[in-house]
Structure 1
Amino acid sequence: MNHLLNIFRLGIKELRSLWHDKIMIVLIIYSFSIAIYVGATAAKSEIHNAPIAFLDEDRSILSRKIIDAFYPPRFKSFKLASFDQGDEGLDAGKYTFVVTIPPNFEKEVISGKHPAIQLNIDATRMTQAGIGAGYIQQIINREVANTLHQSTILPVGIITRMKYNPNLEGSWFGGVMEIISMISLLSIVLTGAALIREREHGTLEHLMVMPLSAFEIMLGKVWSMGLVVLTAAALSLQFVVEGILHIPIAGSEILFLCGAFLVLFATTSMGIFMGTIARTMPQFGLILILTILPLQILSGGITPYESMPDILQYIMKLAPTSHFVSMAQAVLYRGAGIEVVWPDFIAMFVIGLVYFSLALMLFRRSLSASS
């Protein structure tokens, strides 16, 4: 009972210290509010206001229909007078696409010939270039088929149903994934910074002379900083993701937060481990950069987990964030229940125990060396 009371009091001490650290408070508020909103709305993968220019050498009814079919918000169209304007616009980054409709285009189409339309693309804008080329081809084919009064229906009917995100809104994916990334980042930062702050202020030496064990000191930091991140994530999910961004949550938020609790057990232990190795905040920041970037990029939150090399997939299975991303996507996107995500829960718990044990071993050794 005394051990539990000590852990509780140490956690309260950490919460009070965090409350007086205004920079950290601002960082937490920013990370789970403005950063979530910016991450969801700024980096969109779908076509939006893509600049496209047309050089109409045919000047027919069909060419005008094709040009008029490109309208906002997907495209922002311009009309050109010469080839040189198109080349200059692509070189200057003014246009992403330049479409050239050749002379006698409509006449050749009606006569059954197969005239070619030239499409020049600024491939340095990779996302727009890849997606926009498909859009442009579909729009031109549709207008030509309508002019010839031909049916575009294939012999085999294809019925497409978009699950969860029918309009393929990029913000729906970005908003939730930003919360997942911030949970991992802030939990490591807060626990590591709390340990370094005590070492710099000399309060760690005060704890060492008290009847406290390294286990109690470490667990006090883990539960208090984990509680702060978990509370901030729950509020962000409720008010920012669902309230401001209007992103629907398909599954149980309680189940997601339970999974977040397990991953916080691992990531806060990682923060203690890094805070023990680093002696100053600049050193901790450098170690954090080398750690958090692979965790966020290779955990399946930015790129599909299955698209990575097999050896990298096996390595990342040792990271708690890989299982957390898999669990979160299944619960929040597809409405999965515990019967689906229980392997990820077990994996996060086991990995958390391993990370906690390693961090505790190093933390004890550090305290022994300092005494």
Structure 2
Amino acid sequence: MRSLSNILQLGIKELRSLYRDPALLLLILYAFTLSIYTSATATPESPHRATIAVVDEDQSPVSQRITDAFQLPYFMPPQLIDHGAMDLGMDRGLYTFTLNIPPNYQRDLLAGRNPTIQLNVDATQVSQAFTGAGHIQQIIQAEVTAFVQRYRSETALPIDAVVRTAYNPNLERSWFGAITSVIDQITMLSIILTGAALIREREHGTIEHLLVMPVTPFEIMLAKVWAMGLVVLLASSLALRVVVQQALGVPIQGSVSLFMLGTALHLFATTSIGIFFGTVARSMPQLGLLVIISLIPLMILSGALTPRESMPEILQQIMLAAPTTHFVELAQGILLRGAGLAIVWPQLLALTVIGSLFFVGSLARLRKSLQ
């Protein structure tokens, strides 16, 4: 009971120290609000409500079919204009894309002359123009191919590929980006806060006060782990509810409580890593460098940005020792696919084992550094 009381009181002391550190508080606020929102909506993989105008000089069924193919949410309803309005609208920034369908386009198309359609792109609208041109080309190609096949009464191929998109029917990048950003912020903040808590004790000279008190290194470490882990857990829960679900409109398919359980186990591992970094680094700049060189591979090679199946086999096996690999699988499975405990229990078990190993190793390192 005395040990539990010491751990509780030391943890409360850490929370009070964090409350008096405005820089870390602003970092937490930014990381779980603006950082998640901007990461999810930075550069879309497909155009979103892009403005487009069409100069239809053909006035044929195929030109009408192409015009009607541009629909929400990718494009605003196309504006039918003439040549003069096309240049003026592009100069004024009214249209991101203008499409010019030449006269006799359908006649030349059916005659096999391969007519062309002119597409003008406002390259100053980088987020839309970067992906919109290719998207428009695919739409035109699909509509023209379907029209020609129907006109010539071509029979369909004996085998046809039918693609059904699961979990994210409209391929919304913000859904995936928001979940990935939450995972990254949880990992980053848990390491930084625990490492900073230990370095702050050394810089302020309070570590010597702790050493003369009847507390053990185990109690000191566990207090920092639960206190900083609780802060990140609460912040991630609010971010998931306010930023991800309400601001970005990302539907959560699975149990939030199960995700919070997985997050707590992940925090057990990452906060232990933060303690280890705090014993290695002697100042906050050194801690920042350690965090940078460790977070980049943890984020990139964990499967959050690139599927693990596309990585070399030996790299996949090595990254099984990292808690982020299992946490990414768990988070994406629960939040995006609606996975339950029967599916994600291997990841929960792996996080428990990895967290215990990191905790024991960091505790040994802390005891050595305190001596």
Q: State yes or no: 1:278 paired with 2:281.
A: yes
Among 236, 255, 270, the alignment partner of 2:239 is: 236
Q: How does 1:127-146 map to 2 (within 5 A)?
A: 133-142=137-146, 144=148
Q: How does 1:96-111 map to 2 (within 5 A)?
A: 105-111=105-111
> Structure 1's 152 and 364: CA in aligned 2 closer, same or farther, altered over 3 A?
farther
Uncovered stretches (5+) of structure 1, i.e. residues with no partner: 90-94
Q: Distance in 1 between matches of 2:156 and 2:114?
A: 22
Partner of 1:367: 370
Q: Distance in 2 between matches of 1:110 and 1:53?
A: 25
Q: Secondary structure at the match of 1:186?
A: helix
Q: Distance in 1 between matches of 2:114 and 2:25?
A: 63
Partner amino acid for 1:267?
A: T
Distance apart, 1:220 and its partner CA: 0.6
Q: Is contact 1:96-1:129 (8 Å) kept?
A: no
Distance apart, 1:244 and its partner CA: 2.4
Q: How does 1:15-164 map to 2 (within 5 A)?
A: 15-48=15-48, 59=58, 61=60, 64-65=63-64, 68-69=67-68, 70=70, 74-75=74-75, 105-111=105-111, 113=112, 115=114, 117=116, 133-142=137-146, 144=148, 148=151, 150=153, 155-156=158-159, 159-164=162-167
> Structure 1's 213 and 129: CA in aligned 2 closer, same or farther, altered over 3 A?
farther
Partner amino acid for 1:310?
A: E
Partner amino acid for 1:317?
A: L
Q: Distance in 1 between matches of 2:155 and 2:29?
A: 52
Partner of 2:339: 336
Q: Distance in 2 between matches of 1:26 and 1:151?
A: 63
Q: How does 1:247-326 map to 2 (within 5 A)?
A: 247-326=250-329
> Structure 1's 24 and 255: CA in aligned 2 closer, same or farther, altered over 3 A?
same
> Structure 1's 72 and 252: CA in aligned 2 closer, same or farther, altered over 3 A?
closer
Q: Is contact 2:253-2:336 (8 Å) kept?
A: yes
Q: Distance in 2 between matches of 1:152 and 1:29?
A: 59
Structure 1: 4+ residue segments shifted above 6 A: 50-56, 76-81, 95-103, 118-126
Partner amino acid for 1:2?
A: R
CA offsets, 1:135-172, max 9 Å, x none?
342243345557x3858965556554332222221112
Q: Distance in 1 between matches of 2:273 and 2:120?
A: 46
Distance apart, 1:334 and its partner CA: 1.4
Q: Is contact 2:66-2:143 (8 Å) kept?
A: no
Distance apart, 1:6 and its partner CA: 1.1
Partner amino acid for 2:265?
A: L
Q: Distance in 2 between matches of 1:129 and 1:355?
A: 49
Q: Is contact 2:63-2:101 (8 Å) kept?
A: no
Partner of 2:348: 345
Partner amino acid for 1:29?
A: L
Q: Distance in 2 between matches of 1:121 and 1:296?
A: 38
Q: Distance in 2 between matches of 1:286 and 1:216?
A: 27
Partner amino acid for 2:304?
A: G
Q: Secondary structure at the match of 1:362?
A: helix
Q: Distance in 1 between matches of 2:174 and 2:155?
A: 32
CA offsets, 1:212-262, max 9 Å, x none?
111111111001100111111112212222222222111111111111111
Q: Distance in 2 between matches of 1:222 and 1:309?
A: 34
Partner amino acid for 2:348?
A: F
Partner of 1:3: 3
Q: Is contact 2:322-2:354 (8 Å) kept?
A: yes
Partner amino acid for 1:313?
A: Q
Distance apart, 1:37 and its partner CA: 2.0
Partner of 1:92: none
Distance apart, 1:182 and its partner CA: 1.0
Q: State yes or no: 1:227 paired with 2:230.
A: yes
Q: What number of residue pairs does the alignment pair up?
A: 356
Q: Among the aligned pairs, what percent are the same residue? A: 49
Distance apart, 1:73 and its partner CA: 5.5
Q: Is contact 2:109-2:115 (8 Å) kept?
A: no
RMSD: 3.4
Q: Distance in 2 between matches of 1:262 and 1:107?
A: 66
Partner amino acid for 2:241?
A: Q
Q: Secondary structure at the match of 1:162?
A: coil
> Structure 1's 307 and 135: CA in aligned 2 closer, same or farther, altered over 3 A?
farther
Q: Is contact 1:65-1:143 (8 Å) kept?
A: no
Partner amino acid for 1:217?
A: I
